[in-house]
Structure 1
Amino acid sequence: MIPAMPASRRRRAAPPRRSSSAALRAGRLASMGLVALLILIAGVWASWGTAQHVMLPGGREKGTVVVTQCGEESCTGPFTPVSTGATARRSLTIAEPIALKVGQTYSVVIKPDSDAGVRSGPAGILYAWVPLGGALLLASIVVAGGLRKSRLAWLMAGSGVALVTAAFLTV
C-alpha cells in the first residue's frame, strides 16, 4: 500500500531572513561603493592642486631653476624664463623638494600670482598624480573586501602601483 499523499502541495513563502539579508547586502554594496568613490575623489582632488599647473601650463610662466639651497620643506634658486612674458626672478621656491639636488637645473612652471614653482615635464606630471596612486591602492582594498570585486580591485591596485613606481623612477 502506498502511503497517503497530501491533498495539495503548498509552497512555503521564503523566510523573512532572506529578504533582510538581501537588504543588508545591497546596503553593504552601496556604502562600500560610496566609500571607494570618496577615496578616489579625494585622490583626484589632492592631485589636481598641483597637476593643473603642470598639465595646463598655457598662460603660465615657464622656465628653469638652478637649485642653490634646500631645506626640509622647500628648495630655492634663481628662475630663468623660457616662455614669452615670463620674468626672471632672483629666488623661486619649489615646495616638497623630493629628489632635488643643489646645483641641478630643473624645468618649472610658476603658480599664478606667487613666487612658487612646480616641476614640469614627465617627472612633474607623475609626481603631481602620486596622491591619486595612493588613493587607487587604498580604494582597491575597499573594492576587494567590501564589494568583493577582485578583478577590479587588482586592476586598481596595479594602476596605483604603476603610477607610484613610475613617479619614483622619473623623479
Structure 2
Amino acid sequence: MPAHASRRNTSTVLRFGQFAALGTVAALILIAGVWASWGTAQHVMLTKGRERGTMTVTRCADDRCTGPYRPTSEGSTPRARVVLDGAVTVEKGRTYTVAVKPGSDDVVRTGAGGLLYAWVPLGGALLLASMVVAGGLRLTRLAWILGGTGLAMVTAAFLAL
C-alpha cells in the first residue's frame, strides 16, 4: 500500500472518530438539558389530574417563596402554605397560577411564563451544544440553528417572567 493511501485512511479514521466523539458530547449535552427541564416542565405541561390553583406570595427567603394556596381544579385542597422556587421572578403580595407537585407542598408556576422558565435548562444546553457543533463538528448551519433556538428560549423566558 502506498504511503499517501495509508495517510488518507488514517486521516479519514481520525475525522470519523472526532465526529463520533463530539457528536456524542453534543447529544449528551442536549439530553442533559431535556432531563433538567423535564423535572419542572412535566408539572406545567401535563396538568390533567394535577392540583391547580393560585398562590399569593407572602414571604421570600433563601430562594424560596411561600404563601397560601387556593385551589381552582376539582379535587384540590386549600393549603395554608406552599413553597415556590424563588429563582422564578415573583413579587411579594402578587398572586400566581400554580400546579402542585404530587405528594408535596411544592408548586411550580403555570402558564406561558412557567412553561418557558421550565425549559430554560434546555435553552442553555442548546447554546452550549451549538459551540460543540460549530467548533468540533464544523457544522456551522446546524450550530446557528441550535444557538438561535437556545437564545430565543432563554430570552423569551426572561421577558415572560
What TM-score results when the alignment is normalised by the length of structure 2? 0.97
Listed as ranges, the matches of 1:147-166 within 5 Å are 147-166=137-156
Listed as ranges, the matches of 1:21-60 within 5 Å are 21-60=11-50
Whichever of the two has the greater Rg, that structure is 1
Percent identity over the alignment is 59
Kept in 2: contact 1:76–1:93 (CA 8 A):
yes
Q: CA deviation at 1:14?
A: 3.9
Q: Distance in 2 between matches of 1:88 and 1:165?
A: 34
Secondary structure in 1 aligned to 2:54? strand
Q: Distance in 2 between matches of 1:66 and 1:13?
A: 75
Q: CA deviation at 1:72?
A: 2.5
Q: Distance in 2 between matches of 1:97 and 1:61?
A: 22
- In the alignment, structure 1 segments of 5+ residues that lack a partner are 1-11
Could you list the per-position Cα deviations for residues 104-133 of structure 1 after superposition, in whole angstroms to 9, with x for gaps in the alignment?
A: 000000000000000000000000000000
- 1:134 corresponds in structure 2 to 124
RMSD of aligned residue pairs (Cα, Å): 1.0
The alignment covers a number of residue pairs equal to: 160
Q: CA deviation at 1:13?
A: 7.0
Secondary structure in 2 aligned to 1:70? strand
- In the alignment, structure 2 segments of 5+ residues that lack a partner are none
Alignment equivalent of 2:106, drawn from 86, 104, 116: 116
- 1:62 corresponds in structure 2 to 52
Secondary structure in 2 aligned to 1:63? strand
Q: Distance in 1 between matches of 2:59 and 2:87?
A: 10
Q: Distance in 1 between matches of 2:26 and 2:16?
A: 15
- 1:143 corresponds in structure 2 to 133
Q: Distance in 1 between matches of 2:86 and 2:146?
A: 26
Could you list the per-position Cα deviations for residues 33-65 of structure 1 after superposition, in whole angstroms to 9, with x for gaps in the alignment?
A: 000000000000000000000000111100000
Q: CA deviation at 1:17?
A: 1.0
